[in-house]
Amino acid sequence: MMSRRFFPALLLSLLWLSMGVFGQSQSSAKPKPHVVVLSVNGMELDVVRPLLLEGKMPNLSSVIKKGAYGKLRTVSAPNCPRVFSTIFTSTKPEEHGVTGFIVGGITANTNMLKQEPLWSMLSKKDVTVGMANVPATFPVLPVNGYMISGMLTRGKNCEDGVLCAPKLSEVQGGDAVYPATMKTELLKNVGDFYIDCERMPAASDLKGHESEFIDSWLTKVQLIRDEQTHLFDYLLDHHPTDFTWLGQSCEDRTGHWLYPIAPYNAGYNPKVNAVRTEAFPDQYVAFDKVLGAVLKHIDDNTYVIIVSDHGIKPLREFEETDAHAHMDHEKTTPVIAKHDFADGDDVPGSFFAMGPGIKHDLRLMGFEASVYDIAPTILHIYGIEQPMQMRGHVLSEIFEGSDKAIAQK
């Protein structure tokens, strides 16, 4: 297993230990740019756009006005670990190895990554890195800062780690927090938060008490979001890092079974799909509040990048042999929307960026930006040249003036 890894983890962790556990040790070096990434698992622009028009996402609106945004071309048959690992490495799924939720019969995990991820490259260049609830980061790897895992974390009642929600204290089968000492601190100061969003219900959970179940499920989802918001607030206050990446994953989870479909859509069941038609759009309204909490920590010299891995659309037909793992263990969740269409262009992700030198009110048309471009663009902000294996390019079109002006920051 170790031989397939891209670096000897022990060696790197020793290096960072010598620099101070939290890495805030480059007092003599010139300040590094500050970048905060907020990622969303499954942001569907068809649902977000009306909310923007209605003024229900004021924080995202403000980022759009002050920055650049557009669709984000994703990979074929996109799903969360597959796309996020592509974003981390700017390499193809077949190259980085995390091709889906289950790889070779095993839940996707960071030991499978065969290409160096962004956080490792930044850490090596003395950029302090903080990451929390980012999908496909379990078990956590050493960084020049901290890492708290996200989706695919395994734990009690979530033994395979697929689309379920262990609490921090319930994690099993690997570390969810780096450095390990930070876990105690988080339990004390933040509490025992859920690391991922709630599991989707089985058909048997719903049958006969659909509306009560939907209500209680959505209450739990909001609790998880509130806990994560509290965690982000704590981290941004107490552990500021040059590069910070925070993740949200309840949007997609809700969309799969509560997308506001119409009676003519495949899978429509009025007992489920006519009950809380606002539930899925409301996830983005709730996301906007999380964004607002993060923006309170942001100054004009900080880059903010919001990125999603794919959208989500109603089923076009029933697919009896749906290979992807958006099901509960019994595989009976009444899924009515999905994103792993063979053509990823049917369900693009989205991209929003603002910060020093980024153009205002710029809309990227078509597929100017792709999931491969995120890592090179972030490296560029830090003046780090993209390595050969990366398949994306720097999104230079979003920056004012020449590339040099950015590199000098």
Give the interface with Zn ion as residue ranges (CB under 5 A).
252, 326
- For Zn ion, the closer of residues 109 and 254 by Cβ is 254
- For Zn ion, the closer of residues 82 and 326 by Cβ is 326
Least CB distance to Zn ion at residue 256 (A): 6
Least CB distance to Zn ion at residue 283 (A): 12
End-to-end alpha carbon distance in the chain: 40
Least CB distance to Zn ion at residue 10 (A): 35
- For Zn ion, the closer of residues 98 and 127 by Cβ is 98
- For Zn ion, the closer of residues 137 and 308 by Cβ is 308
Is 332 buried (19+), middle (13-18) or exposed (0-12) by CB count in 10 A?
middle
Least CB distance to Zn ion at residue 325 (A): 9
Least CB distance to Zn ion at residue 149 (A): 18
Least CB distance to Zn ion at residue 345 (A): 17
- For Zn ion, the closer of residues 313 and 326 by Cβ is 326
Is 132 buried (19+), middle (13-18) or exposed (0-12) by CB count in 10 A?
buried
- For Zn ion, the closer of residues 109 and 333 by Cβ is 333
- For Zn ion, the closer of residues 15 and 323 by Cβ is 323
Least CB distance to Zn ion at residue 42 (A): 5
82: Cβ contacts below 8 Å, ≥ 6 apart:
75, 93, 98, 99, 100
Least CB distance to Zn ion at residue 274 (A): 22
Least CB distance to Zn ion at residue 247 (A): 14
- For Zn ion, the closer of residues 135 and 145 by Cβ is 135
Least CB distance to Zn ion at residue 259 (A): 11
SS3 for the chain, per residue? Answer: CHHHCCCCHHHHHHHHHHCCCCCCCCCCCCCCCEEEEEEECCCCHHHHHHHHHCCCCHHHHHHHHHCEEEEEECCCCCCHHHHHHHHHHCCCHHHHCCCCCEECCEECCHHHCCCCCHHHHHHHCCCCEEEEEECCCCCCCCCCEEEEECCCCCECCECCCCCCCCEHHHECCCCCEECCHHHHHHHHHCCCCECCCCCCCCHHHHCCCHHHHHHHHHHHHHHHHHHHHHHHHHHHHHCCCCEEEEEECHHHHHHHHHCCCCCCCCCCCHHHHCCCCCHHHHHHHHHHHHHHHHHCCCCCCEEEEEEECCCCEECCCCCCCCCCCCCCCCCCCCCCEECCCCCHHHCCEEEEEECCCECCCEEEEEEEEEHHHHHHHHHHHCCCCCCCCCCCCCCHHHECCCHHHHHCC
- For Zn ion, the closer of residues 67 and 135 by Cβ is 135
- For Zn ion, the closer of residues 253 and 276 by Cβ is 253
